[in-house]
Chains A and B, each alone.
Chain A
Amino acid sequence: MPTPQTPANPLKVLIVDDEPLARDRLRALLSDLSAQLSSEVVGEAANGLLALEALRQQAVDVVLADIRMPGMDGIELATHLGRLEKPPAVIFTTAYDNYAVQAFDLNAVDYLLKPVRVQRLLAALQKVPGPRPDASLLANIGQEVRGGGRTHLSCHERGRLLLVPIAEVLYFKADLKYVTARTVEREYLLDEALTHLESEFADRFLRLHRSVLVAKAALAGFEKAVVDDAEAYGWALLRGVPEKLPVSRRQWAAAKALVKNS
């Protein structure tokens, strides 16, 4: 139910930009707008990771996010926000990212060009209490704007959003309903499709089996199965963890060649 913003019920804003002066400017503009629109800056973050951290402490109505940031950029931040139960509205701020901006025109996600004009900011914020773009649109924005390329995966655990750095994942395994990601420390349940993961991270992961993607760097060796059955033609050994992964007959040669060449 949209509610008008009053001083008693200000719009909660999170500002995400790696440049301190750019954050200061948004803050100044928001305070200039206080007569027309009541808002409260509840946090600032220098990149997407820190923004997600801040969101764990505090729910917000709107995230003003720069696109180009170190660590985790604005577009990836938006994809993770799209996986939250109640995603905040996202307004991108960008100096000059031609392709991204074109893509947002198609996606109807709002964006502001830097230097930001106060009237434009007001117009964007006034749309916030209205209908939100649906979460799946946000979650897929990275895929649409630049065809994937996330640095982290997100998963929910007891209502919390956890981030799994792609670089730490040893393998993905698909079970009946879920995909699990294994790092050296533990497993994570993901809400992802194995085929999507395979195409998004094709340079990093290799398919070993109908249900298994392995990080190429984690492969340590292979052993032939004692009994050749439908489940596994052989087994792949990994660095860092004791489990073995099944390798199908089809992938056996390709996987072995990869290890030999590395």
Chain B
Amino acid sequence: MISIRHFPATYPLPDWRNFGVMLRLLLGVNALAALAALVQTPEIDGWMGQYIGLAAVVEPLLLLCLGLLSLSRDILWRLPLRVGQACVLALAGGVSAVFVLYARSVGLVEAGGALRAMLLAMAMAALLLTYFELRSRAFSPVQAEARLAALNARIRPHFLFNSLNAVLSLIRARPKEAEAALESLSDLFRAAMRDPCELVSLADEIALAKQYLALEDLRLGERLAIDWQIGEVSMALPIPPLMLQPLLENAVYHGIEPSAAGGTVRIGIEQKGDELWIAIANPTAGQAQHAAGNQMAVANIRERLALYYDLEARLEIEVGDNSYEVRIILPCQRRKLPPTR
């Protein structure tokens, strides 16, 4: 089974054998060297001379490093990202220290400490690595999309099999209800398998939540009570798909199922200024296991919100003595999604 944990959510080191990467490195290092030369010279006239003197040391060093990196590309790629980056830094620092010591011994340069050269080379390497990492993040919508897809398809197997069991039981005695239940179940799975990048309307999400709750009602009967409180809000507001249902599933799984007497799940939806507030509350039956399971679904939704809205959406949790409430606060305006095709 492939889970999201098996995808290293990383941005690999650049391909040192790629022409574009080499060009960027050469230009980047030379631009930094020119900047360093400017810092070192008090008068603008001496700048070029200083730069050329610097380049005599920097250029062979750079080519040497690039050559070594190209040779070791495949090995570096196999390492975890951070370890790989550390290796690149160590390589740049080590090579420049050795180079400066060597240059001094043969009299190419008269002064300059090996430690200083090493730190400068490492700082430059760190800057460039950061640039490559940011660049690959900015240009990888595919990863954001895959991450969304992986986060989205989460309906508890426990719910699926129990629902199927309930439907099987209905088929003989109450075939009409069984049909309706299977229809709801297929809608729910259609929603779970839908393109996660497309926003849905609030009305659709509420309809889906009601279908889900109808299935739970079949299983739990009187133990499950639902209190919908929908305030002044436009039903056409776009929201990310499957925001309500996983939270309701959590509320039922942790709040209603562990209690023999059952309880009420409260759902509040309202618009406050430019924000859409969705609140879902369930009673807690003093369950110790409550926290662990809930946190996974909540972390999942939190991450999806971050992918859709970055910092404009938030998720709050309020744990009372006998209640557990999750609130999602979304910006109301229509907006394009970050992952574009």
A25-B260 contact in complex given A19-B219, A96-B158, C-beta closer than 8 Å: no
**Per-residue CB proximity of A87-127 to B under 8 Å, as 1/0?**
00000000111000000000000000111100000000000
Bound-complex Cα distance A71 to B261 (A): 9
**Chain B residues whose C-beta falls within 8 Å of the C-beta of A114 in the assembled complex:** 161-162, 164-165
Best-surrounded residue of A18, A24, A97 (most CB of chain B within 10 A): A18
How many of A's residues come within 8 Å of B, CB to CB?
Answer: 20
A22-B257 contact in complex given A96-B158, A113-B161, C-beta closer than 8 Å: no
Judge whether A20 is part of the interface by a CB distance below 8 angstroms: yes
Are A19 and B259 in touch, CB under 8 angstroms? Answer: no
Are B157 and A70 in touch, CB under 8 angstroms? Answer: no
A-B contact pairs, 22 of them (CB 8 A): A18-B257, A18-B260, A19-B162, A19-B220, A21-B166, A21-B219, A22-B162, A22-B219, A24-B173, A25-B166, A25-B169, A47-B260, A70-B285, A71-B260, A95-B165, A96-B158, A96-B160, A96-B161, A114-B161, A114-B164, A115-B168, A116-B165
Are B161 and A95 in touch, CB under 8 angstroms? Answer: yes
**Chain B residues whose C-beta falls within 8 Å of the C-beta of A20 in the assembled complex:** 221
Are A70 and B260 in touch, CB under 8 angstroms? Answer: yes
Judge whether B149 is part of the interface by a CB distance below 8 angstroms: no
**Chain A residues whose C-beta falls within 8 Å of the C-beta of B157 in the assembled complex:** 95-96
**Chain B residues whose C-beta falls within 8 Å of the C-beta of A113 in the assembled complex:** 161
Bound-complex Cα distance A96 to B160 (A): 9
Bound-complex Cα distance A160 to B212 (A): 44
**Chain A residues whose C-beta falls within 8 Å of the C-beta of B258 in the assembled complex:** 70
Bound-complex Cα distance A19 to B260 (A): 11
14 new A-B pairs (CB below 8 Å) besides A95-B160, A115-B168?
A19-B162, A19-B165, A21-B169, A22-B166, A22-B169, A68-B158, A70-B257, A70-B285, A95-B157, A95-B158, A95-B162, A96-B157, A114-B162, A116-B165
Give the residues from 113 to 171 in chain A that come closer than 8 angstroms, CB to CB, to chain B. 113-116
Are A70 and B259 in touch, CB under 8 angstroms? Answer: yes
How many of B's residues come within 8 Å of A, CB to CB?
Answer: 23
* A residues with CB within 8 A of B: 18-22, 24-25, 28, 46-47, 68, 70-71, 95-97, 113-116
Are B165 and A22 in touch, CB under 8 angstroms? Answer: yes
**Closest chain A residue, CB of each to CB of B158:** A96
Bound-complex Cα distance A71 to B160 (A): 23
Judge whether B199 is part of the interface by a CB distance below 8 angstroms: no
**Closest chain B residue, CB of each to CB of A72:** B260
Bound-complex Cα distance A24 to B260 (A): 18
**Closest chain A residue, CB of each to CB of B161:** A95
Best-surrounded residue of A19, A28, A116 (most CB of chain B within 10 A): A19
**Chain A residues whose C-beta falls within 8 Å of the C-beta of B165 in the assembled complex:** 19, 21-22, 25, 95, 114-116
Q: Name A's interface SS.
A: loop
**Per-residue CB proximity of B123-150 to A under 8 Å, as 1/0?**
0000000000000000000000000000
B80, chain A: closest CB distance, angstroms = 29
Give the residues from 155 to 189 in chain B that come closer than 8 angstroms, CB to CB, to chain A. 156-158, 160-162, 164-166, 168-170, 172-173
Bound-complex Cα distance A156 to B172 (A): 43
**Chain A residues whose C-beta falls within 8 Å of the C-beta of B225 in the assembled complex:** none
Are A68 and B257 in touch, CB under 8 angstroms? Answer: yes
**Closest chain A residue, CB of each to CB of B220:** A19
Are B259 and A24 in touch, CB under 8 angstroms? Answer: no
**Closest chain A residue, CB of each to CB of B164:** A115
**Chain A residues whose C-beta falls within 8 Å of the C-beta of B259 in the assembled complex:** 70
Best-surrounded residue of B158, B162, B164 (most CB of chain A within 10 A): B162
B256, chain A: closest CB distance, angstroms = 9
**Closest chain B residue, CB of each to CB of A27:** B169
A34, chain B: closest CB distance, angstroms = 15
Judge whether B218 is part of the interface by a CB distance below 8 angstroms: yes
**Chain A residues whose C-beta falls within 8 Å of the C-beta of B220 in the assembled complex:** 19
Bound-complex Cα distance A28 to B157 (A): 24
**Per-residue CB proximity of B258-297 to A under 8 Å, as 1/0?**
1110000000000000000000000001000000000000
Are A28 and B218 in touch, CB under 8 angstroms? Answer: no
**Closest chain A residue, CB of each to CB of B177:** A21
B82, chain A: closest CB distance, angstroms = 32
B219, chain A: closest CB distance, angstroms = 5
